[in-house]
Structure 1
């Protein structure tokens, strides 16, 4: 599974970073970015929680 952030939708609230800092971080523009590559199995659940908590639905985990 991989995590993706729609940069055009992200409002920079940092909820995803608070929930799953192993996968999400903020870039220099204050927009969330996801780690590149496959998610480790133990991070999938927290990445999905971050997706569900995103107030603007900018995160996809697939």
Structure 2
């Protein structure tokens, strides 16, 4: 699984960064970014939850 954050849609709510810090972090503009090229299998469920919970649907699987 690969994911990306659509920067223009991110409102910096922190849900993804706080719930899966091994996959998401803040960039210099305080927007979330995916920091891994491939989500580890053991984190896929947590990332799916972050995708489903994102209030602006800014996270997408690619």
TM-score (norm 1): 0.91
Aligned to 2:2: 2
Q: Which SS does the other structure have where 1:22 is aligned?
A: coil
Any stretches of 5+ residues in structure 1 without a counterpart? none
> Runs of 4 or more off by more than 4 Å in structure 1?
none
Aligned mates of 2:3, 2:12 — CA distance in 1: 16
Any stretches of 5+ residues in structure 2 without a counterpart? none
Number of aligned residues? 62
* Residue 36 of structure 1: how far off its partner (Å): 3.3
Alpha-carbon displacement from aligned partner over 1:17-57 (angstroms, at most 9, x marks no partner): 11111100011111000023111100111111111111000
In angstroms, what is the RMSD of aligned CA positions? 1.0
